[in-house]
Amino acid sequence: MRILGIETSCDETAVCLIEADGSFENAFSYKILGNALLSQIEIHRPYGGVFPNLAKREHALNLVPLLEQALQEAGELTPNNDATSGALLIPLKQTLEREQDLFERLVPFALKYQKPNIDAIAVTNGPGLEPALWVGVNFAKALSLLWNIPVVAVNHMEGHVVLSAATETSLSPIEFPLLSLLISGGHTELVLSRNWMSYELIGETKDDAVGEAFDKVARLLGLPYPGGPEISKLAHEARSEGREYPHKLPRPMIDTKDFDFSFAGLKTAVRRHVDANPGMSDDEKSALAREFEEACTDVIIKKTLNAIDEHGARALVVGGGVSANTFIRERLSAALQDYGGVSLLIPPSNLATDNALMIALAGYFHAEKEHFAVLNELKAHGTLRLAKRA
Ligand code: KG4
Ligand code: ZN
């Protein structure tokens, strides 16, 4: 089956075409036919964060060129010689009523090329920034009408889980229960799966997500958005030069018996240090970044290991943008060495942040089970949940 993934939940616009076969249970394999991604980071940077309506506008401008790029790579752009295809544009106009920029780009594309060899479309319908999600959802609907193929709605967090469990061509062998640590700009969650595609929320942040804390602390230290990679760079520098911050930051909720997190207090503690020391030198800043990164990591590791113990997890999946963090990756993998037999499944750093491969892969497993969306009921849900509390 050939499936086209579309991702627009935040500040990455992405389109990916894969060909996949088999199922979770039986001989799954896939290959990437075409993959295109455009990050809006530079556009949002002056605002110090993602600006939802700007993200929406950029998705609308870039989806069609990215689709064209992905199809070109897949060898699926064939010129159209059918003069009657103009009739197809009427449903497109209705579907993209609120997406004028997108409509204006899709029309020439639709007239120019034949239907590619694709069986279904997978689109992120949440969670994320709702105006941004809507662009992808409406685009998927329009392509579904244009090519007469079904749509699968994919939860963005499930995309992170599935991609973390995937290898370059297949799935890692997985034993259940499987614990997923999902750490991104919008989420910090521990999710338990007793089987494929079944999710139970066992812990989450009570306030800021860990990526959000990285971004906010970066801003306090005068670093650009997104803060995660910047903090990580400074922290690494301080560590390799043996520089430590003279004060300890709190490790919020590290000793509580639950699997919940809290990062707002940690960010406030950093703010207090920055306010108390207005002329902070670069060396002090990087030492503080190091202490902050270590505080976050300590809490994440402790809670994750507690959850593995309590639920007898046999594998740990780590997904979401923060899983690109080298220090967190190293500490997690070292910690799991003492947990004989618990395997660590973590995507390469370049696939940790948002992309459309993760949506195509998760979408395939739904499509394979014919979990297709009813087009006029398909909506974007900014607060869509992957799992409920057990
Ligand atoms: O999953 P993602 O691309 O988007 C969301 O769904 O949120 O995650 C983005 C988040 C941002 O907060 C960013 O600062 C953080 O992931 N991030 C990192 C690193 N790279 C990205 N945080 C810590 N260390 C990193 N190396
Ligand atoms: Zn994400």
For residue 319, which amino acid is it? G
Quick check: CB of 136 below 6 Å from ligand 1? Answer: no
- CA triplet 243, 247, 250: central angle to 5 degrees? 120
Give the separation between CA 64 and CA 262, rounded to whole angstroms.
Answer: 40
**Model pTM?**
0.95
Q: Which one of the ligands is nearest to 188 CA? A: 1
pLDDT in single tens digits along all 390 residues of the chain: 999 999 999 999 999 999 999 998 889 999 999 999 999 999 999 988 899 999 999 999 999 999 999 999 999 999 987 766 677 788 888 899 999 999 999 999 999 999 999 999 999 999 999 999 999 999 999 999 999 999 999 999 999 999 999 999 999 989 999 999 999 999 999 999 999 999 999 999 999 999 999 999 999 999 999 999 999 999 999 999 999 999 999 999 999 999 999 999 999 999 999 999 999 999 999 999 999 999 999 999 999 999 999 999 999 999 999 999 999 999 999 999 988 889 999 999 899 999 999 999 999 999 999 999 999 999 999 999 999 887
Quick one: angle between helices 227-240 and 282-311, nearest 10?
Answer: 100
Nearest to 253 by CA among 235, 241, 265: 265
Quick check: CB of 319 below 6 Å from ligand 1? Answer: no
Strands 188-193 and 200-204 turn out to be: antiparallel
Q: In sequence order, which residues have a C-beta less than 8 Å from that of residue 168 and are 6 or more positions away?
A: none
Quick check: CB of 232 below 6 Å from ligand 1? Answer: yes
Residues with CB under 5 A from ligand 2 (ion): 184, 354
191 beta partners: 180, 201
The three-state secondary structure class of 343 is: strand
